[in-house]
Amino acid sequence: MASKPRIKLPKSAAAGEVITIKTLISHTMESGQRKDKEGNPIPRQIINTFTCEFEGAKVFECELDPAISANPYFEFNAKVEESGTFKFTWVDDDGSVYETEQDITVS
């Protein structure tokens, strides 16, 4: 299970500005490499895809492998031309989808 994702991005920006977005989500990112106390392999369970969209258009995407650390962190950029809503999506191996949104005002 993952906990509520956290986002850092500016509330406002100038048209055409390239802003920086930072995201964090709590997740153990079980690699599939570890063994439990009885020596049985602990099955892999990771966030496998992260996507950032702006008003339905893809801005940035990452496919994750088990080498990504627990509590995956991403920092990337976005070029904003108009006010709107960013949508962030994390997809878990178990099929769960975690989503959050944040608005930006562009002047």
- Reading the block at residue 61, the tokens are 């995407």
94 in the Ramachandran plot: left (φ > 0), alpha (ψ -120 to 50) or beta?
alpha
Q: How far is the CB of 89 from other proteins (least distance, A)?
A: 13
Joined tokens for residue 9: 């991005």
Binding residue (CB under 8 A) for other proteins from 1, 3, 10, 73: 73
- Binding status of residue 35 toward other proteins by CB under 8 A: no
Q: Which of 38, 67, 94, 97 binds other proteins (CB under 8 A)?
A: 67
Q: Does 7 bind other proteins (CB under 8 A)?
A: no
**Distance separating alpha carbons of residues 39 and 49, to the nearest angstrom:** 29
Q: Nearer Cβ to other proteins, position 63 or 101? A: 63
Name the nearest CA neighbour of 66 among 36, 101, 30, 95. 30
Residue 34 interacts with other proteins (CB under 8 A): yes or no: no
Q: Put residue 9 in one of left, alpha, beta given phi > 0 → left and psi -120 to 50 → alpha.
A: beta
Interaction between residue 84 and other proteins (CB under 8 A): no
Q: Which residues bind other proteins (CB under 8 A)?
A: 8, 18-19, 22, 24, 31, 33, 54, 57-70, 72-79
